[in-house]
Amino acid sequence: MSFLHVQSPEDILNAKRLIVPGVGAFSAMMDVLNNNGMAEALSTYIEKDHPFLGICLGLQLVFESSEENGPVRGLGLIPGVVGRFDSSNGFRVPHIGWNALDIKKDSVILDDIAHRHVYFVHSYRAVPIPSLFTKYQLYP
């Protein structure tokens, strides 16, 4: 299997599988995607139901908006908002540490990691609106 670093909207549209990693700020990433024509290409790619894995910020981009340095408009493919963790309930923000995963639905990609601990470093989380969440799944 070979990997290609995306350089253009055409690279996105021609990809067999696409992984969008998650380091950076939502608004800066959306600026880059919009200014290079990649936002439209990424939306088109995902809407055609091609394999897509968004990691952290990579997944947050598909939501309607983010509160980070915003509000900032996202790709709008999943109804919901990316918001900062609420620190008023005692959670430290940024959230840093080990947490067990609670997988709510069978998933080929997450089969072997349910209830295992993974390490997180983040201040924002994506909150889908379940009643409107019909077309896309966060995992198969």
- pLDDT per residue, tens digit, the chain (140 aa), is 567 788 999 999 999 999 998 878 899 999 999 999 999 999 999 999 898 888 889 999 999 999 988 899 999 998 999 988 887 878 777 778 888 777 776 666 666 777 778 777 778 888 777 655 555 454 44
Give residue limits of the domains in the chain: 9-129
Query: For the domain 9-129, what is the CATH code?
Result: 3.40.50.880
Task: Retrieve residue 2's tokens.
Answer: 């070979």
Q: Are 9 and 41 in contact (CB under 8 A)?
A: yes
What pLDDT is recorded for position 110? 65
Distance of CA 4 to the CA centre of its chain: 20
What pLDDT is recorded for position 1? 59
Q: Are 85 and 129 in contact (CB under 8 A)?
A: no
DSSP state of 72: E
Integer angstrom CA distances of residue 138 from 22, 31, 90, 95, 128 = 15, 24, 28, 21, 10
